[in-house]
Amino acid sequence: MLPHKLIEQSLQRAASAVLPDADVSAILVRPCPDPKFGDYQTNALMSLAKARRMNPRQLATDVLARLEVADLCEKVEIAGAGFLNFRLKDSALANALQAAARGEHLFFDPAAAARTIVLDFSSPNVAKPMHVGHIRSTILGDSLSRTLRLLGHRVITDNHIGDWGTQFGMLLVGWKTLLERAALEREPLSEMERIYKAISSQCDPDKPGYDAARHEAARRELVKLQQGDAENLAIWREMIQLSQAQFDAIYGRLGVQFDHTYGESFYHPRLGQTVDDLMSRGIARESEGAKCVFSDGTRPPKEDPFLIQRDGEWQPNPQLIQKRDGGFNYATTDLATIAYRLEIWHPQEIVYITDGRQQLHFQQLFAVFQRWHLEMAGKLKLAHVWFGSILGEDGRPLKTRSGENVKLSELLDEAEERAFRLVSEKNSDLPEAERREIARVVGIGAVKYADLSPNRQSDYVFSWDKMLALNGNTAPYLQYAYARIQSIFRKGDIQSPASGMPPGALTLSAPEELALAKHLLNFGLTLEAVADEYRPNFLCNYLYDLAGQFTRFYENCPVLKSEGSTRDSRLVLCDLTAKVLKRGLGALGIEILEQM
């Protein structure tokens, strides 16, 4: 078992002995924020004391008196208001590393209670090119799914594509009147976008080019589609097929897979009954001919998503579930979708990954759902994982020079092209095919990492030079750190670094060895933090620090030139660092190279 888990167990046993009726399962340790104070820390005794109106330092003292961690830790210290700080003995550290070298673990354990988690991400819209706005959802969602799976959870990924709705009325009119077949064959999404833009500008009563007849035609085509008109259905299916092929090409390049792509249209047959049910339960009501859900007054106005402050007063801000003309809303589909997912997958958690502009939608959606399915209270966690915008170097939302949305496929082309130029400068002697493969892994990795490493809720500036830099918190830097370790093994002709090392033979003494070993030990805690808060940037920072620790170790501790058990131990440190880099990058969805 990992040392921090052993410490937790001892802590919980000791706390139970002091407070026999307390729930001690929340007593956990975390890495110490400052290594000066130790390796691990717990603050859980303070909340336990607070809840019982006890003196926290006294509780810490009592627990400490019963704590049995002498074989793992140096003397345990009480700090501040009642923290306990733990410092691992070097021998405990070495044992943990040797267990990892034997393949018993890679510094993490599968989750004690595996959960079923639905991840709803990417979700582009049919007949529109995927743009950089969808990239963050795709990349974040994919890395969360990989991390959660690594921790042993049952993850179901569902791409909720926008394949239904009013835009199809306009697309159908455009398809029938403006479509150029040759252009469609060349670049289907651009052609569909062109006809959509042409018609939609004529269907907006607020725009100068408004054409009432066109607007009416679009409405009629939509009704025909919804009523199952064979011609319109066939065109609609073709649009979906063409779009899906383009989406799949991007997913293929990004290495992203979905378990399901139900899409909004799948739920269409369920929307009527969803609205009826909400009406008959009194959750929704009619207002000006539409059907909406209003505040139920159970939350303070500030926390109530159905209220909005206007001119200093709280006004109703309902969620629409059926329009006056009978059409359904985005929210209606999402409500039916939750119900369906519960019915077939029985998840404990559904996580949506979209940009921050949809926050209100999801706050309202979750609140409506809670009122609708009271029996799920406390059994289902609904989470909206939102993210900020990608900005150009001018600090404004990223656009092409002509002001268009940047297309994802072109962005990835450019990433690979730029990486290819860099690789060719450095390794002009490698055959072109090899340079292209390195450029693919580095270019795509760089784009993904640039997206994952900032706090997801802040906007970030998209900079090619920064994301492709070999120095700094970038994918190429980490990929290079991995490849460099592999080159040590090649140079020393070492096949399996840990083999033949007798138990207890691993020694750690140099401060850089100890620091690197301790950092390795935090891999699992980092993965758990990513899963708890849906923040892959924790893992990026961890890996970046790991590469830094490794560099300090490698600069100060000769590996191939050392001898005996020192050499063996250092080779193990190299090997475990490489393994953690590989797994960690893998959890981010980033590939590695054996040679760069």
Positions that interact with ligand ARG (CB under 6 A): 120, 123-125, 160, 162, 334, 337, 352, 354
**At closest approach, how far in Å is the CB of 38 from ligand ARG?**
43
d(Cα 346, Cα 342) in Å, to the nearest integer? Answer: 5
Name which of 82 and 162 has its Cβ closer to ligand ARG: 162
Q: If we measure between CA atoms, which residue out of 77, 73, 104 comes closest to residue 88?
A: 73
Local structure of 509: helix, strand or coil: coil
d(Cα 200, Cα 71) in Å, to the nearest integer? Answer: 72
Name which of 165 and 174 has its Cβ closer to ligand ARG: 165
**At closest approach, how far in Å is the CB of 133 from ligand ARG?**
8
**At closest approach, how far in Å is the CB of 343 from ligand ARG?**
16
Name which of 409 and 551 has its Cβ closer to ligand ARG: 409
> What does the block give as tokens for 122?
């990417």
**At closest approach, how far in Å is the CB of 364 from ligand ARG?**
12
Name which of 163 and 304 has its Cβ closer to ligand ARG: 163
Name which of 120 and 304 has its Cβ closer to ligand ARG: 120
Name which of 16 and 166 has its Cβ closer to ligand ARG: 166
**At closest approach, how far in Å is the CB of 238 from ligand ARG?**
20
Name which of 332 and 354 has its Cβ closer to ligand ARG: 354
Question: Which burial class, exposed, middle or buried, applies to 586 when counting CB atoms under 10 A from its CB (0-12, 13-18, 19+)?
Answer: middle
Contact 425, 567 (CB under 8 A): no
**At closest approach, how far in Å is the CB of 239 from ligand ARG?**
15
Name which of 350 and 572 has its Cβ closer to ligand ARG: 350
Contact 186, 347 (CB under 8 A): no
Name which of 390 and 585 has its Cβ closer to ligand ARG: 390
**At closest approach, how far in Å is the CB of 326 from ligand ARG?**
21
Ranges of H-type helices in 121-229: 132-150, 167-177, 181-186, 188-202, 212-226
**At closest approach, how far in Å is the CB of 7 from ligand ARG?**
41
d(Cα 360, Cα 330) in Å, to the nearest integer? Answer: 13
**At closest approach, how far in Å is the CB of 570 from ligand ARG?**
49
d(Cα 434, Cα 414) in Å, to the nearest integer? Answer: 18
b/e burial code for range 265-300 (CB count within 10 A of at least 16 → b): bbbbebbeebbeebeeeebbeeeeebbbbebeeeee
Q: Which amino acid is at 19?
A: L
At residue 350, φ and ψ (nearest 5 deg) are -125, 125
Residues in Cβ contact with 179 at an 8 Å cutoff, skipping those fewer than 6 apart = 191, 195
> What does the block give as tokens for 414?
């450019």
Helix, strand and coil percent figures for the chain, each rounded to 5: 55, 10, 35
